[in-house]
Amino acid sequence: MRFMVIVKATEDSEKGVMPSQDMLAAMGAYNEELVKAGIMLDGDGLRPSSHGARIRFDDTGETTVIDGPFAETKELVSGYWVFEVSSREEAIEWARKAPFRGGELEIRPFSVPEDFGEAFTPELQERENQLRDTLGAQREA
Amino acid sequence: MTTPPPPTASATADLHRVVDAVWRMESARIVGALARVTGDVGLAEELAQDALVAALEQWPDTGVPAKPGAWLMATAKHRAIDTFRRAQNLQRKTQELGRSLVQDESAEEDWAAALDEVVEDDVLRLVFISCHPVLSREARVALTLRLVGGLSTDEIARAFLVPEKTLAQRVVRAKRTLTAARVPFEMPTGTDFTARLSSVLEVLYLIFNEGYAATAGEDLTRPALCQEAMRLGRILAGLVRGESEVHGLVALLQLQASRLAARIGPGGESVLLADQDRGRWDRVLITRGLAALEEAERTARDALGPYALQAAIAACHARARSVEETDWARIAGAYEALAALSPSPVIELNRAVAVSRAYGPAAGLELADALLGVPALSSYHLLPAVRGDLLHSLGRDAEARTEFERAAGLTRNERERALLLGRAADCGGSAGLPTP
Protein backbone atom coordinates (compact mmCIF):
# COMPACT_ATOMS: atom_id res chain seq x y z
CA MET A 1 0.00 0.00 0.00
CA ARG A 2 1.29 3.38 -0.94
CA PHE A 3 0.82 6.37 1.35
CA MET A 4 1.67 10.01 1.12
CA VAL A 5 2.83 11.43 4.41
CA ILE A 6 2.06 15.13 4.29
CA VAL A 7 4.05 17.49 6.49
CA LYS A 8 1.85 20.38 7.57
CA ALA A 9 3.35 23.84 7.57
CA THR A 10 4.22 25.66 10.77
CA GLU A 11 4.80 29.34 11.46
CA ASP A 12 8.53 28.72 11.21
CA SER A 13 8.31 26.80 7.97
CA GLU A 14 6.15 29.55 6.49
CA LYS A 15 8.67 32.18 7.58
CA GLY A 16 11.39 30.16 5.89
CA VAL A 17 13.23 29.62 9.18
CA MET A 18 15.79 26.89 8.57
CA PRO A 19 15.66 23.98 11.02
CA SER A 20 18.39 23.80 13.67
CA GLN A 21 21.54 21.76 13.10
CA ASP A 22 20.21 19.14 15.54
CA MET A 23 16.90 18.95 13.74
CA LEU A 24 18.62 18.55 10.36
CA ALA A 25 20.77 15.76 11.75
CA ALA A 26 17.74 14.02 13.28
CA MET A 27 15.84 14.34 10.02
CA GLY A 28 18.80 12.95 8.09
CA ALA A 29 18.93 9.96 10.44
CA TYR A 30 15.18 9.43 10.10
CA ASN A 31 15.35 9.52 6.32
CA GLU A 32 18.23 7.08 6.37
CA GLU A 33 16.20 4.75 8.57
CA LEU A 34 13.29 4.92 6.12
CA VAL A 35 15.56 4.14 3.18
CA LYS A 36 17.26 1.29 5.00
CA ALA A 37 13.88 -0.15 5.94
CA GLY A 38 13.11 -0.28 2.24
CA ILE A 39 9.82 1.58 2.58
CA MET A 40 10.58 5.12 1.35
CA LEU A 41 9.86 5.70 -2.33
CA ASP A 42 10.14 9.45 -2.38
CA GLY A 43 10.21 12.51 -0.18
CA ASP A 44 11.10 16.18 -0.22
CA GLY A 45 10.58 19.55 1.38
CA LEU A 46 8.71 22.51 -0.07
CA ARG A 47 9.49 26.21 0.10
CA PRO A 48 7.06 28.48 2.00
CA SER A 49 3.72 29.35 0.41
CA SER A 50 5.06 32.86 -0.30
CA HIS A 51 6.87 31.22 -3.22
CA GLY A 52 3.70 29.51 -4.40
CA ALA A 53 0.43 30.44 -6.03
CA ARG A 54 -3.10 29.13 -6.19
CA ILE A 55 -5.08 28.59 -9.32
CA ARG A 56 -8.79 28.76 -8.65
CA PHE A 57 -11.40 27.40 -11.08
CA ASP A 58 -14.96 28.63 -11.25
CA ASP A 59 -17.88 26.52 -12.48
CA THR A 60 -17.22 27.37 -16.10
CA GLY A 61 -13.52 26.55 -15.91
CA GLU A 62 -12.42 30.18 -15.78
CA THR A 63 -9.25 30.50 -13.73
CA THR A 64 -7.99 33.06 -11.23
CA VAL A 65 -4.39 33.01 -10.06
CA ILE A 66 -3.70 34.06 -6.48
CA ASP A 67 -0.13 34.56 -5.35
CA GLY A 68 1.04 33.31 -1.96
CA PRO A 69 1.63 33.59 0.94
CA PHE A 70 -1.56 32.06 2.30
CA ALA A 71 -2.89 32.66 5.76
CA GLU A 72 -4.23 29.34 7.05
CA THR A 73 -0.78 27.98 8.03
CA LYS A 74 -1.99 24.68 9.47
CA GLU A 75 -3.73 23.76 6.22
CA LEU A 76 -0.59 24.31 4.18
CA VAL A 77 1.93 21.69 3.20
CA SER A 78 5.68 22.03 3.77
CA GLY A 79 6.90 18.61 2.67
CA TYR A 80 6.00 15.03 1.97
CA TRP A 81 7.15 11.43 1.91
CA VAL A 82 5.85 8.53 -0.12
CA PHE A 83 5.87 5.24 1.81
CA GLU A 84 5.28 1.74 0.48
CA VAL A 85 4.12 -0.35 3.44
CA SER A 86 1.91 -3.33 4.12
CA SER A 87 -0.75 -1.59 6.21
CA ARG A 88 -2.18 1.72 7.37
CA GLU A 89 -0.88 0.90 10.86
CA GLU A 90 2.64 0.52 9.51
CA ALA A 91 2.43 3.90 7.78
CA ILE A 92 1.28 5.45 11.07
CA GLU A 93 4.04 3.80 13.11
CA TRP A 94 6.70 4.99 10.67
CA ALA A 95 5.26 8.49 10.70
CA ARG A 96 5.25 8.44 14.50
CA LYS A 97 9.01 7.99 14.44
CA ALA A 98 9.59 11.31 12.65
CA PRO A 99 11.72 13.62 14.81
CA PHE A 100 9.34 16.60 14.88
CA ARG A 101 8.85 18.80 17.92
CA GLY A 102 5.51 20.47 17.28
CA GLY A 103 3.67 20.30 13.99
CA GLU A 104 1.52 17.70 12.36
CA LEU A 105 1.71 14.93 9.80
CA GLU A 106 -1.19 13.61 7.78
CA ILE A 107 -1.14 10.26 6.05
CA ARG A 108 -3.25 9.53 2.99
CA PRO A 109 -3.36 6.33 0.93
CA PHE A 110 -2.82 6.73 -2.81
CA SER A 111 -5.92 6.17 -4.84
CA VAL A 112 -5.73 3.34 -7.31
CA PRO A 113 -7.22 3.76 -10.83
CA GLU A 114 -10.23 1.63 -9.83
CA ASP A 115 -11.22 4.33 -7.32
CA PHE A 116 -12.17 6.63 -10.19
CA GLY A 117 -14.74 4.24 -11.57
CA GLU A 118 -16.24 4.83 -14.99
CA ALA A 119 -15.14 8.44 -15.16
CA PHE A 120 -11.53 7.39 -15.55
CA THR A 121 -11.77 5.86 -19.02
CA PRO A 122 -8.89 4.09 -20.78
CA GLU A 123 -8.41 7.18 -22.96
CA LEU A 124 -8.04 9.36 -19.90
CA GLN A 125 -5.66 6.86 -18.38
CA GLU A 126 -3.62 6.97 -21.55
CA ARG A 127 -3.49 10.76 -21.36
CA GLU A 128 -2.40 10.60 -17.78
CA ASN A 129 0.23 8.06 -18.68
CA GLN A 130 1.66 10.34 -21.37
CA LEU A 131 1.74 13.16 -18.89
CA ARG A 132 3.61 11.04 -16.39
CA ASP A 133 6.01 9.92 -19.11
CA THR A 134 6.87 13.53 -19.76
CA LEU A 135 7.31 14.16 -16.05
CA GLY A 136 9.49 11.05 -15.80
CA ALA A 137 11.65 12.23 -18.69
CA GLN A 138 12.05 15.64 -17.07
CA ARG A 139 13.08 14.03 -13.82
CA GLU A 140 15.63 11.83 -15.50
CA ALA A 141 17.02 14.71 -17.50
CA MET B 1 -26.65 -5.17 7.64
CA THR B 2 -24.01 -6.47 9.95
CA THR B 3 -23.76 -5.26 13.50
CA PRO B 4 -20.42 -3.73 14.42
CA PRO B 5 -18.30 -5.82 16.76
CA PRO B 6 -18.20 -4.75 20.42
CA PRO B 7 -15.63 -2.00 20.93
CA THR B 8 -13.30 -4.13 23.03
CA ALA B 9 -12.97 -6.75 20.29
CA SER B 10 -12.34 -4.12 17.65
CA ALA B 11 -9.88 -2.30 19.88
CA THR B 12 -8.03 -5.59 20.37
CA ALA B 13 -8.01 -6.19 16.62
CA ASP B 14 -6.68 -2.66 16.04
CA LEU B 15 -3.99 -3.24 18.61
CA HIS B 16 -3.02 -6.52 16.96
CA ARG B 17 -2.55 -4.67 13.70
CA VAL B 18 -0.38 -2.07 15.40
CA VAL B 19 1.72 -4.80 17.03
CA ASP B 20 2.04 -6.54 13.65
CA ALA B 21 3.19 -3.29 12.06
CA VAL B 22 5.74 -2.59 14.79
CA TRP B 23 6.99 -6.15 14.56
CA ARG B 24 7.51 -5.86 10.80
CA MET B 25 9.42 -2.63 11.34
CA GLU B 26 11.61 -3.68 14.24
CA SER B 27 11.98 -7.45 14.44
CA ALA B 28 14.96 -7.83 12.10
CA ARG B 29 17.04 -5.40 14.14
CA ILE B 30 15.98 -6.99 17.43
CA VAL B 31 16.62 -10.55 16.27
CA GLY B 32 19.88 -9.40 14.68
CA ALA B 33 21.15 -7.78 17.89
CA LEU B 34 20.14 -10.81 19.97
CA ALA B 35 21.77 -13.20 17.50
CA ARG B 36 24.99 -11.18 17.61
CA VAL B 37 25.12 -11.42 21.39
CA THR B 38 23.88 -14.99 21.86
CA GLY B 39 25.47 -16.39 18.72
CA ASP B 40 22.33 -18.43 18.11
CA VAL B 41 19.71 -17.26 15.64
CA GLY B 42 17.14 -19.75 16.89
CA LEU B 43 17.47 -18.57 20.49
CA ALA B 44 17.50 -14.95 19.32
CA GLU B 45 14.20 -15.39 17.55
CA GLU B 46 12.62 -17.11 20.54
CA LEU B 47 13.65 -14.25 22.82
CA ALA B 48 12.28 -11.69 20.39
CA GLN B 49 9.05 -13.66 20.10
CA ASP B 50 8.76 -13.63 23.90
CA ALA B 51 8.90 -9.83 23.73
CA LEU B 52 6.21 -9.85 21.06
CA VAL B 53 3.96 -12.00 23.26
CA ALA B 54 4.61 -9.63 26.18
CA ALA B 55 3.54 -6.70 23.99
CA LEU B 56 0.32 -8.45 23.04
CA GLU B 57 -0.37 -9.09 26.73
CA GLN B 58 0.56 -5.71 28.11
CA TRP B 59 -0.24 -3.10 25.47
CA PRO B 60 -4.02 -3.58 25.70
CA ASP B 61 -3.76 -2.26 29.30
CA THR B 62 -0.89 0.20 29.01
CA GLY B 63 -1.52 1.42 25.48
CA VAL B 64 1.12 1.39 22.75
CA PRO B 65 4.34 2.85 24.18
CA ALA B 66 5.76 6.05 22.73
CA LYS B 67 8.72 4.10 21.32
CA PRO B 68 7.35 0.64 20.65
CA GLY B 69 10.55 -0.59 19.00
CA ALA B 70 12.67 0.40 22.00
CA TRP B 71 10.12 -1.26 24.30
CA LEU B 72 10.37 -4.55 22.38
CA MET B 73 14.15 -4.38 22.40
CA ALA B 74 14.30 -3.69 26.14
CA THR B 75 11.89 -6.52 26.89
CA ALA B 76 13.80 -8.95 24.68
CA LYS B 77 16.99 -7.86 26.43
CA HIS B 78 15.53 -8.70 29.85
CA ARG B 79 14.49 -12.11 28.58
CA ALA B 80 17.98 -12.63 27.20
CA ILE B 81 19.59 -11.77 30.54
CA ASP B 82 17.15 -14.07 32.38
CA THR B 83 18.07 -16.87 30.02
CA PHE B 84 21.74 -16.12 30.51
CA ARG B 85 21.35 -16.23 34.30
CA ARG B 86 19.42 -19.48 34.18
CA ALA B 87 22.12 -21.03 32.04
CA GLN B 88 24.78 -19.74 34.43
CA ASN B 89 22.92 -21.10 37.43
CA LEU B 90 22.62 -24.45 35.81
CA GLN B 91 26.30 -24.43 35.03
CA ARG B 92 27.12 -23.40 38.59
CA LYS B 93 25.08 -26.23 40.00
CA THR B 94 26.71 -28.81 37.80
CA GLN B 95 30.23 -27.48 38.16
CA GLU B 96 32.37 -26.63 41.14
CA LEU B 97 30.81 -23.73 42.95
CA GLY B 98 32.19 -20.29 42.41
CA ARG B 99 34.93 -21.32 40.05
CA SER B 100 34.24 -18.72 37.41
CA LEU B 101 31.74 -16.53 39.22
CA VAL B 102 33.61 -13.24 38.81
CA GLN B 103 34.03 -13.88 35.13
CA ASP B 104 30.33 -14.68 34.85
CA GLU B 105 29.24 -11.35 36.25
CA SER B 106 31.40 -9.39 33.88
CA ALA B 107 30.10 -11.56 31.05
CA GLU B 108 26.57 -10.58 31.95
CA GLU B 109 27.52 -6.91 31.89
CA ASP B 110 29.20 -7.35 28.53
CA TRP B 111 26.09 -8.98 27.26
CA ALA B 112 23.83 -6.21 28.44
CA ALA B 113 26.13 -3.57 26.98
CA ALA B 114 26.36 -5.40 23.66
CA LEU B 115 22.59 -5.47 23.41
CA ASP B 116 22.46 -1.70 23.83
CA GLU B 117 24.82 -1.17 20.94
CA VAL B 118 23.38 -0.41 17.57
CA VAL B 119 25.33 -2.41 15.05
CA GLU B 120 24.61 -1.56 11.45
CA ASP B 121 25.52 -4.98 10.16
CA ASP B 122 23.15 -6.91 12.42
CA VAL B 123 20.40 -7.01 9.82
CA LEU B 124 22.82 -7.77 7.02
CA ARG B 125 24.29 -10.68 9.01
CA LEU B 126 20.76 -11.88 9.54
CA VAL B 127 20.15 -11.77 5.78
CA PHE B 128 23.32 -13.73 5.10
CA ILE B 129 22.63 -16.40 7.70
CA SER B 130 19.02 -16.82 6.53
CA CYS B 131 20.29 -17.46 3.00
CA HIS B 132 23.16 -19.70 4.09
CA PRO B 133 24.04 -22.42 1.55
CA VAL B 134 23.82 -25.11 4.24
CA LEU B 135 20.04 -24.64 3.99
CA SER B 136 17.77 -25.83 1.20
CA ARG B 137 16.32 -23.18 -1.12
CA GLU B 138 12.89 -23.58 0.44
CA ALA B 139 14.35 -23.16 3.92
CA ARG B 140 16.28 -20.05 2.88
CA VAL B 141 13.13 -18.46 1.51
CA ALA B 142 11.10 -19.29 4.62
CA LEU B 143 13.78 -18.14 7.05
CA THR B 144 14.43 -14.89 5.17
CA LEU B 145 10.76 -13.94 5.17
CA ARG B 146 10.46 -14.93 8.81
CA LEU B 147 13.63 -13.40 10.29
CA VAL B 148 14.32 -10.48 7.98
CA GLY B 149 10.82 -9.77 6.71
CA GLY B 150 9.18 -10.23 10.12
CA LEU B 151 6.33 -12.26 8.60
CA SER B 152 4.53 -14.84 10.71
CA THR B 153 4.68 -18.51 9.72
CA ASP B 154 0.97 -18.25 9.01
CA GLU B 155 1.52 -15.38 6.57
CA ILE B 156 4.36 -17.19 4.81
CA ALA B 157 2.37 -20.43 4.65
CA ARG B 158 -0.59 -18.61 3.07
CA ALA B 159 1.66 -16.87 0.57
CA PHE B 160 3.20 -20.16 -0.53
CA LEU B 161 -0.05 -22.12 -0.20
CA VAL B 162 1.41 -24.74 2.08
CA PRO B 163 -0.10 -25.83 5.42
CA GLU B 164 1.10 -23.67 8.31
CA LYS B 165 2.40 -26.75 10.10
CA THR B 166 4.63 -27.63 7.15
CA LEU B 167 6.03 -24.13 7.06
CA ALA B 168 6.56 -23.98 10.82
CA GLN B 169 8.46 -27.26 10.68
CA ARG B 170 10.54 -25.94 7.80
CA VAL B 171 11.54 -22.93 9.90
CA VAL B 172 12.32 -25.04 12.98
CA ARG B 173 14.42 -27.45 10.92
CA ALA B 174 16.26 -24.59 9.25
CA LYS B 175 17.18 -23.08 12.62
CA ARG B 176 18.33 -26.49 13.86
CA THR B 177 20.44 -26.99 10.76
CA LEU B 178 22.17 -23.65 11.36
CA THR B 179 22.89 -24.57 14.99
CA ALA B 180 24.07 -28.08 14.10
CA ALA B 181 26.36 -26.75 11.38
CA ARG B 182 27.69 -24.14 13.86
CA VAL B 183 27.19 -21.42 11.29
CA PRO B 184 28.70 -18.29 12.83
CA PHE B 185 26.64 -15.09 12.94
CA GLU B 186 29.12 -13.01 11.00
CA MET B 187 29.69 -11.34 7.68
CA PRO B 188 31.22 -13.48 4.96
CA THR B 189 34.46 -12.03 3.55
CA GLY B 190 36.54 -12.23 0.40
CA THR B 191 35.43 -14.63 -2.32
CA ASP B 192 32.98 -16.17 0.14
CA PHE B 193 31.16 -12.83 0.21
CA THR B 194 30.42 -12.90 -3.52
CA ALA B 195 29.08 -16.46 -3.40
CA ARG B 196 26.98 -15.76 -0.32
CA LEU B 197 25.64 -12.53 -1.79
CA SER B 198 24.51 -14.36 -4.90
CA SER B 199 22.61 -16.81 -2.70
CA VAL B 200 20.87 -13.85 -1.04
CA LEU B 201 19.94 -12.34 -4.40
CA GLU B 202 18.63 -15.68 -5.60
CA VAL B 203 16.39 -16.00 -2.52
CA LEU B 204 14.92 -12.52 -3.09
CA TYR B 205 14.38 -13.35 -6.76
CA LEU B 206 12.61 -16.60 -5.82
CA ILE B 207 10.32 -14.77 -3.41
CA PHE B 208 9.51 -12.20 -6.06
CA ASN B 209 8.84 -14.76 -8.76
CA GLU B 210 6.58 -16.77 -6.53
CA GLY B 211 4.47 -13.63 -6.32
CA TYR B 212 4.87 -12.56 -9.93
CA ALA B 213 4.13 -15.87 -11.63
CA ALA B 214 2.30 -17.71 -8.91
CA THR B 215 3.10 -21.35 -9.56
CA ALA B 216 0.21 -22.65 -7.51
CA GLY B 217 -3.27 -21.55 -6.57
CA GLU B 218 -5.98 -19.70 -8.39
CA ASP B 219 -4.46 -16.25 -8.57
CA LEU B 220 -2.04 -15.49 -11.35
CA THR B 221 -0.05 -13.22 -9.09
CA ARG B 222 0.36 -12.59 -5.40
CA PRO B 223 1.50 -8.98 -5.22
CA ALA B 224 2.21 -9.08 -1.47
CA LEU B 225 5.17 -11.39 -2.08
CA CYS B 226 6.45 -9.09 -4.82
CA GLN B 227 6.17 -6.14 -2.45
CA GLU B 228 8.04 -8.02 0.24
CA ALA B 229 10.83 -9.04 -2.14
CA MET B 230 11.17 -5.41 -3.25
CA ARG B 231 11.27 -4.20 0.33
CA LEU B 232 13.96 -6.75 1.21
CA GLY B 233 15.87 -5.77 -1.94
CA ARG B 234 15.78 -2.10 -0.98
CA ILE B 235 16.92 -2.98 2.54
CA LEU B 236 19.82 -4.92 1.04
CA ALA B 237 20.71 -2.05 -1.31
CA GLY B 238 20.83 0.24 1.72
CA LEU B 239 23.19 -2.09 3.59
CA VAL B 240 25.58 -3.34 0.90
CA ARG B 241 27.70 -0.75 -0.83
CA GLY B 242 29.08 -0.86 -4.34
CA GLU B 243 27.62 -4.19 -5.41
CA SER B 244 26.21 -3.70 -8.90
CA GLU B 245 24.09 -6.85 -8.89
CA VAL B 246 22.21 -5.79 -5.74
CA HIS B 247 21.06 -2.66 -7.58
CA GLY B 248 20.52 -4.75 -10.70
CA LEU B 249 18.15 -7.02 -8.83
CA VAL B 250 16.32 -4.11 -7.18
CA ALA B 251 15.96 -2.51 -10.63
CA LEU B 252 14.70 -5.74 -12.16
CA LEU B 253 12.13 -6.35 -9.41
CA GLN B 254 10.77 -2.80 -9.55
CA LEU B 255 10.58 -2.72 -13.33
CA GLN B 256 8.87 -6.11 -13.46
CA ALA B 257 6.48 -5.15 -10.67
CA SER B 258 5.57 -1.93 -12.49
CA ARG B 259 3.61 -4.16 -14.89
CA LEU B 260 1.83 -6.22 -12.22
CA ALA B 261 -1.57 -4.57 -12.55
CA ALA B 262 -1.46 -4.59 -16.36
CA ARG B 263 -0.62 -8.28 -16.54
CA ILE B 264 -4.07 -9.33 -15.39
CA GLY B 265 -7.09 -8.79 -17.62
CA PRO B 266 -10.61 -7.98 -16.43
CA GLY B 267 -11.51 -11.70 -16.39
CA GLY B 268 -8.45 -12.58 -14.30
CA GLU B 269 -6.56 -13.90 -17.34
CA SER B 270 -2.95 -13.05 -18.02
CA VAL B 271 -2.22 -10.34 -20.58
CA LEU B 272 0.96 -10.53 -22.65
CA LEU B 273 3.39 -7.64 -22.72
CA ALA B 274 2.45 -6.61 -26.26
CA ASP B 275 -1.26 -6.40 -25.34
CA GLN B 276 -0.88 -4.62 -22.03
CA ASP B 277 -2.44 -1.24 -21.38
CA ARG B 278 0.77 0.66 -20.71
CA GLY B 279 -1.25 3.32 -18.92
CA ARG B 280 -1.61 0.87 -16.09
CA TRP B 281 2.13 0.51 -15.58
CA ASP B 282 3.27 1.91 -12.26
CA ARG B 283 5.25 5.05 -13.05
CA VAL B 284 6.72 5.40 -9.55
CA LEU B 285 8.21 1.90 -9.75
CA ILE B 286 9.51 2.55 -13.27
CA THR B 287 11.24 5.74 -12.17
CA ARG B 288 12.78 3.95 -9.20
CA GLY B 289 13.68 0.92 -11.29
CA LEU B 290 15.47 3.07 -13.88
CA ALA B 291 17.34 4.89 -11.10
CA ALA B 292 18.43 1.55 -9.59
CA LEU B 293 19.60 0.38 -13.02
CA GLU B 294 21.71 3.52 -13.35
CA GLU B 295 23.23 2.72 -9.97
CA ALA B 296 23.93 -0.85 -11.13
CA GLU B 297 25.65 0.49 -14.24
CA ARG B 298 27.63 3.01 -12.19
CA THR B 299 28.88 0.42 -9.70
CA ALA B 300 29.60 -2.38 -12.20
CA ARG B 301 33.27 -3.38 -12.05
CA ASP B 302 33.38 -4.47 -15.67
CA ALA B 303 30.38 -5.84 -17.60
CA LEU B 304 26.85 -5.98 -16.15
CA GLY B 305 25.81 -9.12 -14.29
CA PRO B 306 22.75 -11.25 -15.06
CA TYR B 307 20.30 -9.29 -12.87
CA ALA B 308 21.40 -5.92 -14.24
CA LEU B 309 21.17 -7.26 -17.80
CA GLN B 310 17.65 -8.51 -17.22
CA ALA B 311 16.84 -5.13 -15.68
CA ALA B 312 18.28 -3.44 -18.78
CA ILE B 313 15.89 -5.49 -20.91
CA ALA B 314 12.94 -4.67 -18.66
CA ALA B 315 13.99 -1.00 -18.84
CA CYS B 316 13.76 -1.03 -22.65
CA HIS B 317 10.15 -2.12 -22.33
CA ALA B 318 9.44 0.34 -19.52
CA ARG B 319 10.76 3.27 -21.58
CA ALA B 320 8.79 2.35 -24.71
CA ARG B 321 5.28 3.57 -25.42
CA SER B 322 4.50 0.63 -27.64
CA VAL B 323 5.95 -2.62 -28.93
CA GLU B 324 6.95 -0.82 -32.13
CA GLU B 325 8.79 1.96 -30.31
CA THR B 326 10.79 -0.52 -28.24
CA ASP B 327 14.57 -0.52 -28.62
CA TRP B 328 14.75 -4.14 -29.80
CA ALA B 329 18.37 -3.90 -30.92
CA ARG B 330 19.39 -3.02 -27.39
CA ILE B 331 17.28 -5.87 -26.01
CA ALA B 332 18.88 -8.31 -28.48
CA GLY B 333 22.31 -7.13 -27.34
CA ALA B 334 21.40 -7.62 -23.68
CA TYR B 335 20.17 -11.15 -24.39
CA GLU B 336 23.40 -11.90 -26.18
CA ALA B 337 25.39 -10.72 -23.17
CA LEU B 338 23.10 -12.70 -20.88
CA ALA B 339 23.54 -15.85 -22.98
CA ALA B 340 27.30 -15.41 -22.78
CA LEU B 341 27.12 -15.27 -18.95
CA SER B 342 24.71 -18.16 -18.49
CA PRO B 343 23.99 -20.06 -21.69
CA SER B 344 20.38 -21.22 -21.84
CA PRO B 345 18.14 -22.23 -24.77
CA VAL B 346 15.28 -20.16 -23.30
CA ILE B 347 17.47 -17.05 -23.34
CA GLU B 348 18.46 -17.89 -26.92
CA LEU B 349 14.80 -18.13 -27.92
CA ASN B 350 14.11 -14.75 -26.32
CA ARG B 351 17.09 -13.39 -28.19
CA ALA B 352 15.67 -14.80 -31.45
CA VAL B 353 12.44 -12.86 -30.84
CA ALA B 354 14.32 -9.63 -30.08
CA VAL B 355 16.56 -10.08 -33.12
CA SER B 356 13.54 -10.64 -35.36
CA ARG B 357 12.00 -7.40 -34.06
CA ALA B 358 15.24 -5.50 -34.54
CA TYR B 359 16.62 -7.00 -37.75
CA GLY B 360 13.71 -8.80 -39.40
CA PRO B 361 12.10 -12.26 -39.21
CA ALA B 362 14.77 -14.06 -41.27
CA ALA B 363 17.53 -13.18 -38.79
CA GLY B 364 15.32 -14.27 -35.91
CA LEU B 365 14.34 -17.51 -37.59
CA GLU B 366 17.98 -18.41 -38.12
CA LEU B 367 18.56 -18.24 -34.34
CA ALA B 368 15.32 -20.10 -33.59
CA ASP B 369 16.13 -22.85 -36.08
CA ALA B 370 19.45 -23.45 -34.33
CA LEU B 371 17.43 -24.48 -31.26
CA LEU B 372 15.48 -27.21 -33.04
CA GLY B 373 17.53 -30.16 -31.84
CA VAL B 374 17.89 -28.94 -28.22
CA PRO B 375 16.37 -31.60 -25.92
CA ALA B 376 15.44 -29.06 -23.21
CA LEU B 377 13.07 -27.37 -25.67
CA SER B 378 11.63 -30.50 -27.28
CA SER B 379 8.30 -30.12 -25.49
CA TYR B 380 8.44 -26.34 -25.00
CA HIS B 381 5.47 -24.89 -26.89
CA LEU B 382 7.00 -21.44 -27.31
CA LEU B 383 9.67 -22.68 -29.74
CA PRO B 384 7.17 -23.77 -32.44
CA ALA B 385 4.97 -20.78 -31.55
CA VAL B 386 7.85 -18.37 -32.20
CA ARG B 387 8.91 -20.22 -35.34
CA GLY B 388 5.31 -20.20 -36.59
CA ASP B 389 5.14 -16.47 -36.05
CA LEU B 390 8.41 -15.83 -37.90
CA LEU B 391 7.57 -18.21 -40.77
CA HIS B 392 4.22 -16.48 -41.14
CA SER B 393 5.96 -13.08 -41.34
CA LEU B 394 8.16 -14.50 -44.12
CA GLY B 395 5.08 -15.64 -46.05
CA ARG B 396 5.86 -19.33 -45.46
CA ASP B 397 2.32 -19.99 -44.27
CA ALA B 398 2.20 -23.74 -44.82
CA GLU B 399 5.20 -24.26 -42.53
CA ALA B 400 3.85 -21.68 -40.11
CA ARG B 401 0.57 -23.57 -39.86
CA THR B 402 2.35 -26.82 -38.94
CA GLU B 403 4.35 -24.99 -36.27
CA PHE B 404 1.28 -23.37 -34.72
CA GLU B 405 -0.47 -26.74 -34.63
CA ARG B 406 2.55 -28.34 -33.03
CA ALA B 407 2.65 -25.55 -30.43
CA ALA B 408 -1.08 -26.00 -29.75
CA GLY B 409 -0.44 -29.69 -29.10
CA LEU B 410 2.27 -28.88 -26.57
CA THR B 411 0.66 -26.18 -24.43
CA ARG B 412 -1.29 -27.14 -21.33
CA ASN B 413 -3.15 -23.87 -21.16
CA GLU B 414 -6.57 -24.10 -22.85
CA ARG B 415 -6.80 -20.44 -23.70
CA GLU B 416 -3.38 -20.42 -25.27
CA ARG B 417 -4.22 -23.57 -27.25
CA ALA B 418 -7.29 -21.90 -28.74
CA LEU B 419 -5.17 -18.87 -29.60
CA LEU B 420 -2.54 -21.00 -31.37
CA LEU B 421 -5.14 -22.99 -33.31
CA GLY B 422 -6.63 -19.68 -34.39
CA ARG B 423 -3.22 -18.58 -35.68
CA ALA B 424 -2.90 -21.91 -37.51
CA ALA B 425 -6.29 -21.42 -39.16
CA ASP B 426 -5.26 -17.91 -40.26
CA CYS B 427 -2.37 -19.46 -42.16
CA GLY B 428 -4.69 -20.95 -44.78
CA GLY B 429 -6.74 -24.10 -45.36
CA SER B 430 -4.17 -26.67 -46.32
CA ALA B 431 -0.93 -27.49 -44.64
CA GLY B 432 0.73 -27.92 -48.04
CA LEU B 433 4.05 -29.69 -48.10
CA PRO B 434 4.95 -31.43 -44.85
CA THR B 435 7.76 -29.76 -42.96
CA PRO B 436 10.75 -31.76 -41.84
- Residue B287 touches chain A, beta carbons under 8 Å: yes
pTM above 0.90, yes or no: no
Q: Which pLDDT tens digits describe chain B residue by residue (436 residues)?
A: 455 444 466 777 788 899 999 999 999 999 999 999 888 899 999 999 999 999 999 999 999 999 999 999 999 999 988 888 887 777 766 665 444 444 455 666 776 777 767 667 899 999 999 999 999 999 999 999 999 999 989 888 888 888 999 999 999 999 999 999 988 888 888 888 999 999 999 999 999 988 887 655 556 667 888 999 999 999 999 889 889 999 999 999 999 999 988 887 777 777 778 888 898 899 999 999 999 999 999 999 889 999 999 999 999 999 999 989 999 999 999 999 999 998 889 899 999 999 999 999 999 999 999 999 898 888 888 899 999 999 999 999 999 999 999 999 998 777 778 888 998 998 876 544 444 4
Domain total of chain A: 2
Contact A126 B279 (CB under 8 A): yes
Count of A–B CB contacts within 8 Å? 75
- Residue A33 touches chain B, beta carbons under 8 Å: no
**A6, A52: one domain:** yes
Q: Report the pLDDT value the prediction gives residue B415, as an integer from 0 to 100.
A: 73
Q: Report the pLDDT value the prediction gives residue B431, as an integer from 0 to 100.
A: 47
Asked if the model's pLDDT at residue A129 lies above 70, the reply is no
The tens digit of pLDDT for each residue in B251-306 reads 999 999 999 888 877 777 777 788 888 988 999 999 999 999 999 999 998 899 99
**A34, A86: one domain:** yes
Contact A128 B235 (CB under 8 A): no
- Give pairs for B414-423: CB < 8 Å, separation 24+: B415/B269, B416/B381, B420/B381, B420/B385, B420/B388, B423/B388, B423/B389, B423/B392
**A17, A84: one domain:** yes
CA angle B188, B189, B192 (to 5 degrees): 75
Q: Report the pLDDT value the prediction gives residue B256, as an integer from 0 to 100.
A: 94
**A12, A78: one domain:** yes
**A73, A135: one domain:** no
Q: Does the complex come out with an ipTM higher than 0.90? A: no
**A103, A90: one domain:** yes
Query: Nearest CA of chain A to the CA of B23: how many Å?
Result: 9
- Domain of A95, in residue numbers: 2-110
Mutate to test the interface with A, among B72, B123, B278 (most CBs of A within 10 A): B278
**A119, A96: one domain:** no
Chain B hits for A125, CB-CB cut-off 8 Å, are 277, 279-280
Residues in Cβ contact with A61 at an 8 Å cutoff, skipping those fewer than 6 apart: none
DSSP codes of every residue in B285-348: HHHHHHHHHHHHHHH-SSS--HHHHHHHHHHHHHH-SSSTTS-HHHHHHHHHHHHHHS--HHHH
What's the CATH code of the domain at A49? 3.30.70.1060
**A89, A38: one domain:** yes
* Cα B140 from Cα B127, distance rounded (Å): 10
The domain limits of chain B are 10-102+110-118
The tens digit of pLDDT for each residue in B63-118 reads 999 999 999 999 999 998 888 888 777 776 666 544 444 445 566 677 677 776 76
Residues in Cβ contact with B342 at an 8 Å cutoff, skipping those fewer than 6 apart: B306
**A63, A85: one domain:** yes
**A48, A88: one domain:** yes
**A127, A85: one domain:** no
Mutate to test the interface with B, among A35, A133, A135, A139 (most CBs of B within 10 A): A133
* Cα B252 from Cα B244, distance rounded (Å): 12
Chain A hits for B24, CB-CB cut-off 8 Å, are 86, 90
